[in-house]
Amino acid sequence: MKLGIIKRSFILTGIFISFYFIVSSIAPAGTIDLFTSEKGDIKISGGTAHIPVMKDAAKQIMEHNRDIRISIAGGGSGVGIKQVGEGLVDIGNSGRKPTDDEIQKYGLKLFQWAIDGVGVIVNPKNPVKALSMSQLSEIFAGKIFNWKALGGPDKPINVYTRDNSSGTREVFWEKALDKGEITDKANVVVSNGAMKTAVANDPYGIGYVSVGHMDNSTSPVILDGAEPTIENVKNGSYKIARGLFSNTKGEPKGLVKKFIDFLFSPEGQELVTKNGFISVK
């Protein structure tokens, strides 16, 4: 049963990809052709926000040349940096810039191939759709604990946050809360997806997700007049943003270099935009 679905999705991907090549063959030769005579494995781990783009890129490359195998694991930004530093993987992804310590210790080379915003979300039923930064800080610190104080219903505010290894949490904590306190009564969820589900189900909840994950199930909150949209992150009016990094130990060589070049190529950057992130080129 499961095998059937996998098989079918492979066939579908196959069809999709062959269409892609028919279309792209009209255009000048793409970066994907670099992989034609290559062979070998690429191991990738780390940041979970990166995974959709990594998967799409791997699919295109592996469909193009079946002698290349690319494996993608999650684990979080911290794990990605650690594993690539220890030489366990070829590419370690992180949703934050590795610290100077980490860069020095492991001799990391950083490649930032996308920008991602982190936006505050509430339930669509919640009438509160705009907050000031100081209100946001007080909500997350547990000092404002009823929606009534913000013009909403007379209900307690349920704060949702992420675990400490989350890159999304780190960026939100630094740039939105100015490293302020997060109440110990906050519910903790384990991924961007779980955050979306929690707030979509809780009429009195508030949380934060990667802008790439936002959809109709939750409402974005306007912060100090700036709406968390891709356009606003791009033009700089929405400030809570971060780079998505792929890190290698030392200068990347051979196949790994080609993979990173692919991420920066027009094809790679198209995958970035398709997945709701902001391309860097």
Binding of other proteins by 103 (CB under 8 A): no
- Binding residue (CB under 8 A) for other proteins from 42, 49, 79, 131: 79
- Binding residue (CB under 8 A) for other proteins from 148, 185, 253, 257: 185
Binding of other proteins by 104 (CB under 8 A): no
User: Is the CB of 143 or the CB of 185 nearer to other proteins?
Assistant: 185
Binding of other proteins by 217 (CB under 8 A): no
Binding of other proteins by 73 (CB under 8 A): no
Q: Pairing between strand 40-46 and 68-75? A: parallel
Binding of other proteins by 146 (CB under 8 A): no
- CA–CA separation, 203 and 267 (whole Å): 40
Which range, of 54-62, 71-79, 88-96, 115-123, touches other proteins by CB under 8 A?
Answer: 71-79
Which range, of 27-35, 62-70, 186-194, 226-234, touches other proteins by CB under 8 A?
Answer: 186-194
User: Is the CB of 7 or the CB of 185 nearer to other proteins?
Assistant: 185
**Total of chain residues touching other proteins, rule CB under 8 A:** 28
- Binding residue (CB under 8 A) for other proteins from 205, 212, 228, 243: 205
- Binding residue (CB under 8 A) for other proteins from 132, 134, 164, 237: 164
Binding of other proteins by 88 (CB under 8 A): no
The distance of closest approach from Cβ of residue 242 to other proteins in the complex, given in angstroms and rounded to an integer, is: 18
- Binding residue (CB under 8 A) for other proteins from 127, 151, 156, 254: 156
Determine contact, residues 193/220, Cβ cutoff 8 Å.
no
Binding of other proteins by 148 (CB under 8 A): no
- CA–CA separation, 145 and 122 (whole Å): 14
User: Is the CB of 198 or the CB of 223 nearer to other proteins?
Assistant: 198
Binding of other proteins by 75 (CB under 8 A): yes
Tokens of 66: 């079946």
- Binding residue (CB under 8 A) for other proteins from 9, 71, 146, 165: 165
Per-residue 3-state assignment (H helix, E strand, C coil) for the chain: CHHHHHHHHHHHHHHHHHHHHHHHHHCCCCHHHHHCCCCEEEEEEECCCCHHHHHHHHHHHHHHCCCEEEEEEEECHHHHHHHHHCCCCCEEEECCCCCHHHHHHHCEEEEEEEEEEEEEEECCCCCCCEECHHHHHHHHHCCCCEHHHHCCCCCECEEEEECCCCHHHHHHHHHCCCCCCCCCCCEEECCHHHHHHHHHHCCCEEEEEEHHHCCCCCEECEECCECCCHHHHHCCCCCCEEEEEEEEECCCCHHHHHHHHHHHCHHHHHHHHHCCCEECC
Per CB under 8 A, residues contacting other proteins are 75-76, 78-79, 81-82, 155-156, 158, 160, 163-165, 181, 183-190, 197-198, 201-202, 204-205
